């Protein structure tokens, strides 16, 4: 049985840098980036920032009421598009004590 950390996790997403253009068409368009952090069944999302390869969100949120040691927190950076949002980057990190 994994140990449970009973303090909610406050996660802060400051920003990103040097994001690529994720659009296939039109070419040479800057990304409209937003970030999603998820753990278990909960997630939080930043606002999207138009035409910016170096977005700064300075956003914090709480994910879950408690975290299990060994559970995974996922951060995904997206390009906001009219028809389909596109994933630019995904990272996963295990919860440690």
The first and second tokens of residue 45, run together, are 């999302």
23, 81 Cβ separation under 8 angstroms? yes
What pLDDT shows up at residue 43? 87
Q: CB within 8 A of 40, min separation 6: which ones?
A: 63, 64, 71
The whole-model pTM stands at 0.82
Contact 94, 71 (CB under 8 A): yes
Is the confidence at residue 1, as pLDDT, over 60?
A: no
Structure confidence by residue, pLDDT tens digits, 16-37: 999 987 666 666 678 999 999 9
- Cis? peptide before 45, omega within 30° of 0: no
What does each C-alpha distance from 10 to 4, 38, 76 come to in angstroms?
A: 16, 12, 17
Tell me the pairing of strands 33-39 and 86-94.
unpaired
- Does position 54 have pLDDT exceeding 90, yes or no? yes
Domains of the chain and any CATH numbers: 4-94 (2.60.40.150)
3-state secondary structure of 27: coil
pLDDT of 83 reads 82
């Amino acid at each position: 049985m994994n140990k449970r950390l009973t303090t909610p996790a406050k996660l802060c997403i400051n920003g990103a840098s040097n994001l690529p253009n994720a659009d296939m068409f039109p070419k040479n368009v800057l990304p409209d980036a937003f970030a999603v952090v998820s753990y278990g069944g909960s997630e939080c999302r930043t606002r999207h920032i138009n035409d910016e390869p170096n977005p700064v969100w300075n956003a914090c949120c709480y994910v879950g009421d408690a975290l299990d040691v060994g559970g995974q927190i996922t951060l995904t950076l997206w390009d906001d598009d009219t028809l389909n949002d596109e994933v630019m980057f995904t990272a996963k990190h295990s919860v440690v004590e």
